Every structure is written in C-alpha cells, then in structure tokens.
Amino acid sequence: MLFALLCTDKPGALQLRLDTRPEHVAHLTKLNEEGKLAFAGPFLDADGKPNGSLVVLKADSVEAARALGEADPYAKAGVFASVEVKPWTWTFNNPEA
C-alpha cells in the first residue's frame, strides 16, 4: 500500500531543515534502496523556500508508514509542526501500473 506523509514545517524551521538536509537525503536514499519510497519532495512557500514535505511511502500499514516517517531526520530534529499520514492510491502516471 501507498501512504502519503504530508509534513508541515514549524515556523522558523528553515535553517534547521537546511542543516539536517544531508541526513534527510541519506534516509530517503536508504528507503528508496529498500523499495519503500515511491517519491518525495518539499513544499515551497511564496518565496520558493521549502516549508514542508510530501513523502509517499510503500508500507503494509499506516502504523508502519508512520514509523518510517518518525525515523526521518527532519522529524527527529523537530523540523515538522505536524505530519499527517494518509493512505493513497497512485491513479495517473504511475510508472508501476
């Protein structure tokens, strides 16, 4: 199953996000190598600066997806104000369909 993690940064967390980015990228790279990452990328504010993330994971349950999200260095560092985990279906332009 696919799960979308909708992550919203805390106000003023940009520098913490930038400082933590190398570990975050390494985490996503590992998930990708394990076949658990469908895709990911940042949300942007009006100035084009990142202020959240969309991460779509392959997991067996919402609990497993949430655990993967909680292991993200951004989550551990306190970048996110909130993370919403939602089951998701990739309907259009799915390369695996």
DSSP per-residue codes, 32-71: HHTT-EEEEEEEE-TTS-EEEEEEEEE-SSHHHHHHHHHT
* Domains and their CATH numbers in the chain: 2-88 (3.30.70.1060)
Mean pLDDT (the chain, rounded)? 97
The yes-or-no verdict on residue 97 having pLDDT over 80 is no
The yes-or-no verdict on residue 36 having pLDDT over 80 is yes
Read off the pLDDT of each residue in 21-40 and give the average, rounded to a whole number.
98
What are the tokens at 26?
């390494």
| Residue 25 CA from chain centroid, whole number | 10
Contact 9, 79 (CB under 8 A): yes
| Three-state secondary-structure class, residue 78 | coil
Q: What is the pLDDT of residues 58-96, one digit of tens each?
A: 999 999 999 999 999 999 999 999 999 999 999 998 888
pLDDT for position 35? 97
